[in-house]
Structure 1
Amino acid sequence: MQTRTTGLLLSLAGVTLISPDVLVMRWVNLDHASVLMWRGLFMTLGFSAVVLYRYRLAALRAVKRAGRLGVASGFCFALNTTCYTEAIQRTSATATVMIIATAPVFAALISWLVLDERIDRKTAISMFVTLIGIAIIATDGGGQNDMLGNLFAVCTAIFLAINFTLARLKSNIDLTPGLMFGGMIAATFGLMLGGAPQADTEWTQLAAIALTGAILMPIGFTLLQIAPRYTSATEVSLFLLFEAVLGPVWVWLVLNEAPTRTTLVGSVIIISALLYYGAPASWGTRLRLRLGTSSR
């Protein structure tokens, strides 16, 4: 199998595995604190299993190598998880995942502020158009949209972007072990907010949270982390747009939650901006060459 094909298949598999998460978060009817506690606990187990599987006897060494940066990454992951679970319970599934999908654009802005990386014209245009899309979604008063929920979704994207930036600071270090600590911190946040095991909790809901938190999400994110070894990171990031579309489709098919027209307009604007941002320059060059050839 060709190397690029392997990378694309890994990306597709990873995105497909994580896409049902938004459906599960919309389906469970536990309070936010309890969802956060259980989700953090199961993610701790899941990412611990992934680290043990990947590093075997060297797992402890991998945790130590991640160091303080890994702990910082885990803390951002916990904040990201906290904001995400709050957002998905307050606003529509489409609004949540579309706003979170803007994380790469926020990462470019944070890299400019922290790492002094230059923002080119393409990135600036993408940021501006993305903000327009978010504003349209945020002002939608119909359906299940909620302004505070949209704000939590923006915070989720920002904390996710900070994690991207942390990964760039030490690209030679695997920060995945830090996600174990992130799960622990998220579970602690849930307990602090009043989450606790409840006798009347349906086992089907816990099973669904366990399925996504302990199995699908850790494996999916690991596949997405491995995929850039075989294909470009840009192509992998474009596959995340597929998850932003597929997640709300699951919610629509199972829970009959259809996005409003305003949210759809904002979503199309965001996807267009992210496609423009993620498209390699070589694509435009190839297109111009083909157009030039066909016009002769």
Structure 2
Amino acid sequence: MTLTVDIPLIRLADGEPWSILMTRTGMTLLAALVIWAVWRLFSPKAPQLIPGRAGLVVAALYGLGSITFITAVFNTSTANLVFILAFNPMFSALLSWLFLGERPRPATFVAMAAMIVGVAIIVGDSMGSGHLFGNVLALSSALCIAGAITISRASGKDMGFTSLIGVVLPFLVAAFMVGKTGYQVAEPWWIVFNGAVIMPISFFCLAAGPRYISGAEVSMFYLLETVLAPVWVWMIFSEVPSRNSLIGGTILIVALIAHSLWQLHEGRRRRTALAARHPA
């Protein structure tokens, strides 16, 4: 829910992409280190910032995802971006199948097929609009985050701070670029608030989630951003999605909702069956 205001805050800051990325990631890194230091001061059980090699890979994937996400914000519409990012759960399901042996069930394959159709409609609509590059970046961002969630799930380690420390990579890249182009942000306080408050809360929760539920289920919560971010942008900037974006986005949302409801039903059915076989 916190993540749904990310894109509107980026747009409100009204800046050049590299300047936005540097400020956002710099504030996120600072906030993460301060929170971790305070936690460590009062408790020796504070999570590791980067737990082993798996943590390094997860941090790198979150960093790459941050770069592609910010660049996509400035190269495609908000509706296209969040609708394509909703493909994240399907990427997570596929990666879990390939690397963790968690084979998706037939219902998941059906949802994947529907979502591929939805994304194809959105991307196809952008072919002549100049949004193709931004849409490809959005797909890349979704794949990076899905990969990070899958590895977090496989490792079983607490990656809550790893996603936040992962911003070191985009921060360094952005700082290098800003050194060449100059700092250009008209309303920096919006992006400072985004980086210092919104990002730490949302990504800590998303990165810690795979310890308790499956990667696909964690990814399903991106549906909130898919639904609400275009609403906030429409209310603030009067940016109306194109007809094909709405059609493709509706297909994505319906597929995700149907799959989520099916997962909940299957989970309840398995728990009931387990309780019947092993009564207390």
Q: CA RMSD in A?
A: 3.1
Matched residue, 1:206: 188
- Taking structure 1 as reference, are residues 152 and 57 closer, same or farther at Cα in structure 2, changes over 3 Å only? same
The 1-side partners of 2:62 and 2:266 are apart by: 35
Gaps in structure 2 of 5+ consecutive residues: 269-280
2 CA distance for matches of 1:143 and 1:258? 18
Q: 1:108 matched to which residue of 2? A: 93
Partner of 2:21: 36
Residue matched to 1:10: none
Q: Give the deviation of 1:115 after TM superposition.
A: 2.1
Letter in 1 for 2:48: V
Could you report, residue by residue, the CA deviation over 1:212-260 in whole angstroms, capped at 9, with x for unpaired residues? 1110121233355677899998876554312211111111111110101
CA, structure 1 residues 131+235, in 2 after alignment: closer, same or farther (shift >3 Å)? closer
Q: CA deviation at 1:68?
A: 2.1
Amino acid at match of 1:267: G
Q: Does 1:75 align with 2:57?
A: no
CA deviations 1:41-92 (Å, max 9, x no partner) are 1111222234345444557963266122222111111100000001110000
Picking from 240, 250, 274, the partner of 2:222 is: 240
**99-108 vs 149-158, which moves further:** 99-108
What is the distance in 2 between the residues matched to 1:51 and 1:69? Answer: 19
Secondary structure in 1 matching 2:104: coil
- Counterpart of 2:80 (choices 58, 71, 95) is 95
> Are 2:249 and 1:267 equivalent residues in the alignment?
yes
* 1:190 is the counterpart of 2:174: yes
Counterparts of 2:45 and 2:71 in 1: how far apart (Å)?
33
* CA 245–59 in structure 1, closer or farther in 2 if over 3 Å, else same: farther
Answer yes or no: is 1:146 the counterpart of 2:128: no
| C-alpha distance in structure 1 between counterparts of 2:183 and 2:50, whole Å | 40
Is the 2:121–2:244 Cα contact (8 Å) retained in structure 1? yes
Does the aligned pair in 1 maintain the 2:85–2:222 contact within 8 Å? no
Q: 1:53 to 1:271 in 2, by over 3 A?
A: farther
Residue 148 (structure 1) shift: 0.6
In the alignment, the residues of structure 2 paired with residue 116 and residue 236 of structure 1 have an alpha-carbon distance, to the nearest angstrom, of: 18
SS at 2:51 equivalent: helix
Tell me which residue corresponds to 1:124.
109
Go from structure 1 to structure 2 and tell me whether the alpha carbon gap of 1:60 and 1:139 turns closer, same or farther (over 3 Å shift).
same
Matched, 1:19 2:8: no
Identity percentage of aligned residues: 30
Which TM-score applies when normalising by structure 2? 0.83
Whether 1:257 and 2:257 are equivalent positions in the alignment is: no
Distance 2:64 2:207 in 1: 20
Shift of 1:280: 4.0
Deviation string for 1:89-127 (max 9, x for gaps)?
A: 000001101111211110111122222321221121111
Unmatched runs of 5 consecutive residues or more in structure 1: 1-14, 287-296
Counterpart of 1:178? 162
Tell me what 1:4 maps to: none
Whichever residue aligns with residue 209 of structure 1, its letter is I
For each residue in 1:107-151, what CA deviation from the matched residue of structure 2 results, as whole angstroms up to 9, or x when unmatched?
Answer: 111122222321221121111111111110011149976011000
Pick closer, same or farther for the CA change 1:158–1:37 going to 2, 3 Å. Answer: same
Out of 51, 65, 89, which is 1:66 matched to? 51
CA distance in 1 between counterparts of 2:176 and 2:150 reads 28
Farther off after superposition, 118-127 or 52-61 = 52-61
Residue 76 of structure 1 contacts residue 159 of structure 1 at CA under 8 Å; is this kept in 2? yes
Q: 1:152 to 1:224 in 2, by over 3 A?
A: closer
The answer to whether the 8 A contact 1:94-1:248 is kept is yes
Match of 1:217 among 194, 199, 207: 199
Q: Do the aligned partners of 1:34 and 1:195 also contact (CA within 8 Å) in 2?
A: no
Aligned length: 269
Name the counterpart of 1:48. 33
